[in-house]
């Protein structure tokens, strides 16, 4: 499990074609890569992957991209030099910061624009308005002031109009994540709040209202 609090950003070295599953290679800071072991989970821009071929000297790791990952996320579209957000799983017993993030992307949204609240201010000193569209299948799980994961970042929805989402981004999030490197039209990995999914499932599974009928009375021995 992750929390959506990004630990660091990394850089895509490339995507290695293979006879089967393609593999993405990501370089990251030494303090993060050296904590990885083969088979560990790592969130790359919101996608939970399994770390492979870890090189602690060159500080990079690989991860295979399953067909489902390729279909649902932006990772196979990234090019060498693309910046990605990195987060390792939250250790048991530690404070839960953002919200429950699984790293199971629901679909790709699209960046519409990222605009400073104070025009002309230092980019690291002003809040930002993030405008994005999300897939139709995600809309019913998103509410104003609710949580949403964008590129692995735990964020709060400020406004929802149809499938258009507005999010307030603080200066720290802007400078510490890959948002600052993205341009309009960029695909965004979206994960909705899993608690909303469970709530929907429980509501759908709710037992039908009781109806007193002749058949019920007969079955009950009356």
Out of 41, 126, 133, 166, which one is annotated catalytic?
Answer: 41
Name the residue range of residue 113's domain.
Answer: 107-204
Whether 81 and 118 map to the same domain: the answer is: no
50 catalytic? Reply is: yes
- pLDDT confidence tier of residue 209, bands split at 50, 70 and 90: low
The pLDDT, as a whole number, for residue 180 is: 95
The answer as to whether 95 is a domain residue is no
The pLDDT, as a whole number, for residue 94 is: 82
Out of 2, 43, 154, 176, which one is annotated catalytic?
Answer: 2
41 catalytic? Reply is: yes
Tens digits of per-residue pLDDT, 126-143?
999 999 999 999 999 999
Whether 129 and 64 map to the same domain: the answer is: no
Whether 125 and 178 map to the same domain: the answer is: yes
Top pLDDT among 97 and 133 is at 133
Top pLDDT among 184 and 16 is at 184
The answer as to whether 183 is a domain residue is yes
The answer as to whether 96 is a domain residue is no
Look up residue 114 and give its two tokens: 């990222």
The pLDDT, as a whole number, for residue 216 is: 66
State CA 7 to chain mean position distance: 14
Beta-strand ranges (E) seen in 95-184 are 107-116, 128-133, 147-150, 153-161, 164-169
Out of 11, 21, 27, 104, which one is annotated catalytic?
Answer: 104
The answer to whether residue 200 scores a pLDDT higher than 90 is no
The answer as to whether 20 is a domain residue is yes
Which residue reads 């499938």 in tokens? Answer: 163
177 catalytic? Reply is: no
Whether 115 and 36 map to the same domain: the answer is: no
138 catalytic? Reply is: no
- pLDDT confidence tier of residue 221, bands split at 50, 70 and 90: low
Q: How distant, in Å, are the alpha carbons of 39, 62, 208 from that of 190?
A: 24, 22, 34
**Cα pseudo-dihedral 39, 196, 146, 69, rounded to 10:** 40
Top pLDDT among 198 and 213 is at 198
48 catalytic? Reply is: yes
Q: Does residue 44 contact residue 152 with C-beta atoms inside 8 Å?
A: yes
77 catalytic? Reply is: no
Whether 83 and 124 map to the same domain: the answer is: no
């Amino acid at each position: 499990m992750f929390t959506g609090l990004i630990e660091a950003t990394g850089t895509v070295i490339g995507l290695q074609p293979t006879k089967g599953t393609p593999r993405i290679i990501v370089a990251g800071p030494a303090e993060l890569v050296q904590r990885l072991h083969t088979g560990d989970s790592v969130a790359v821009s919101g996608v939970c992957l399994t770390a492979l071929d870890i090189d602690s000297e060159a500080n990079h790791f690989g991860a295979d991209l399953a067909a489902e990952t390729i279909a649902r996320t932006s990772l196979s579209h990234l090019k060498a030099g693309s910046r990605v957000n990195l987060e390792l799983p939250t250790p048991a017993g530690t404070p839960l910061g953002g919200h429950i993030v699984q790293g199971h992307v629901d679909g790709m949204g699209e960046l519409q624009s990222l605009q400073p609240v104070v025009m002309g201010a230092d980019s690291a000193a002003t809040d930002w308005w993030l405008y994005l569209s999300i897939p139709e299948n995600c809309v019913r799980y998103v509410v104003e002031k609710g949580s949403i994961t964008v590129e692995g970042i735990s964020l709060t929805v400020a406004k929802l109009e149809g499938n258009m989402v507005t999010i307030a981004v603080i200066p720290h999030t802007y400078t510490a994540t890959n948002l600052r490197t993205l341009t309009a039209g960029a695909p965004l990995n979206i994960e909705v709040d899993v608690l909303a999914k469970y709530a929907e499932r429980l509501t759908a599974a709710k037992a039908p209202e009781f109806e007193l009928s002749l058949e019920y009375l007969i079955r009950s021995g009356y």
